């Protein structure tokens, strides 16, 4: 967009700010913005976290999954302080059970025996920077204790990619070695994926991004990366539960393809080039061809129910990577 330079006084030149940008960041007279000199121009940015956002949640009548959704929503939206009201006589199930694939833990924690404060203390540990700073009879205060800036987005997003690489590599190793125990911990890795995805979304909502279009694309990227983590967690659950004493080797080839896809996707995001795009496109075609060939060879081989379940999750991972590749291309234009 173009702006006309306006002269004010003898030596002062000014330009007006785009109205859409002003509305997006809720700017008003007297607010400060950051101006950075770059080789080919000036870069204007604003950090929205200067204003502390507060809200209130009433937990009465809500179950644990809904409480998770409420706290996740206000965290992602960028609230800094939450007053959380509750009925002190209520008892709840163990909150992390709803993120767990450990059937033994779920059985052990089945009883509704946790107080509202215990539940909220566990939930607070799930969100980077959040702590309970006040605890009263029928409410507590959860507050952000970490200073947040836009500079934290890139290392946090990179952390998500590295965790997904880890999940892919360890799934590949478990299948190659026919050892389900190697993926029994992936539910904990997925919790970290979710934690950093939420933090990235919080940073975007609090500080914005230098380009509104790219910001919108990144929200979609983060959503799909979270789904990737969920699929690897689901695969680990099936392998841990269903494959004791059974072979995993029939899944070896397709898991190898998926592992290479995840690695290529990571490098594509930080070093975009056509060669990696071609590699991802070929890999997606290889997955479809692999499934087709296996389906045709029923005389020699037939998918077991357990293998078919894992294959469905792997196919979803391939589709998510395809969508992430398309979003990465959009970011170039």
Percentages helix, strand, coil for the chain (3-state, rounded to 5) are 60, 10, 30
Q: Coil, strand, or helix at residue 55?
A: strand
Two structure tokens written together for 297: 């060879």
Beta carbons within 8 Å of 136's beta carbon, 6+ residues apart? none
Q: Which CATH architecture has domain 54-144?
A: 2-Layer Sandwich (3.30)
Q: Do domains 6-46 and 150-331 have the same CATH topology?
A: no
End-to-end CA distance of the chain: 16
Q: Domain spanning 150-331 has what CATH number? A: 1.20.58.220
Domain range summary for the chain, segments of one domain joined by +? 6-46, 54-144, 150-331
75 secondary structure, DSSP code: H
Q: Residue-wise pLDDT tens for the chain (333 aa)?
A: 778 888 887 778 888 888 877 877 778 888 888 776 654 567 677 655 456 889 999 999 999 999 999 999 999 999 999 999 999 999 998 888 776 544 434 444 456 689 999 999 999 999 999 999 999 999 999 999 988 888 899 999 999 999 999 999 999 999 999 888 999 999 999 999 999 999 999 999 988 666 667 888 999 999 999 999 999 999 999 998 888 777 777 788 889 999 999 999 999 999 999 999 999 998 888 777 666 555 545 455 567 788 888 888 999 999 999 999 999 999 988
Tell the CATH topology of 6-46.
Pemi-like Protein 1; Chain: D (2.10.260)
Q: In angstroms, rounded to a whole number, what is the distance separating the alpha carbons of residues 129 and 142?
A: 10
Q: In angstroms, rounded to a whole number, what is the distance separating the alpha carbons of residues 155 and 151?
A: 8
């Amino acid at each position: 967009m173009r702006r006309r330079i306006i002269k004010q006084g003898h030596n002062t030149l000014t330009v007006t700010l785009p109205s859409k940008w002003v509305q997006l960041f809720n700017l008003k007279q007297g607010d400060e913005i950051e101006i950075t000199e770059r080789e080919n121009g000036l870069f204007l940015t604003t950090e929205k976290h200067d204003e502390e956002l507060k809200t209130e949640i009433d937990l009465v009548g809500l179950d644990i999954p809904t409480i998770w959704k409420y706290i996740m929503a206000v965290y992602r939206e960028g609230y800094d302080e939450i007053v959380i009201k509750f009925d002190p006589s209520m008892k709840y199930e163990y909150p992390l059970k709803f993120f767990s694939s450990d059937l033994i833990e779920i059985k052990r924690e089945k009883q509704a025996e946790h107080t509202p404060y215990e539940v909220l203390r566990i939930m607070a540990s799930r969100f980077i920077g959040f702590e309970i700073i006040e605890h009263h009879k029928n409410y507590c205060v959860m507050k952000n204790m970490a200073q947040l800036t836009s500079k934290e987005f890139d290392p946090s997003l990179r952390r998500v990619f590295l965790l997904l690489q880890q999940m892919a590599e360890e799934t590949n190793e478990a299948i190659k070695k026919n050892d389900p125990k190697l993926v029994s911990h992936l539910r904990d890795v997925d919790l970290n994926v979710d934690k950093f995805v939420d933090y990235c979304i919080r940073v975007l909502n609090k500080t914005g991004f230098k380009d509104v279009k790219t910001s919108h694309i990144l929200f979609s990227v983060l959503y799909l990366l979270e789904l990737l983590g969920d699929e690897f967690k689901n695969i680990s659950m099936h392998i841990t539960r269903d494959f004791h004493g059974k072979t995993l080797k029939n899944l070896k080839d397709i898991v190898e393809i998926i592992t290479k896809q995840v690695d290529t996707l990571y490098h594509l995001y930080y070093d975009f080039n056509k060669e990696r795009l071609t590699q991802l496109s070929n890999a997606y075609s290889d997955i479809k061809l692999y499934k087709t060939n296996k389906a045709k060879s029923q005389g020699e081989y037939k998918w077991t129910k357990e293998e078919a379940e894992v294959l469905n999750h792997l196919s979803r991972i391939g589709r998510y990577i395809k969508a992430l590749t398309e979003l990465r291309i959009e970011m170039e234009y």
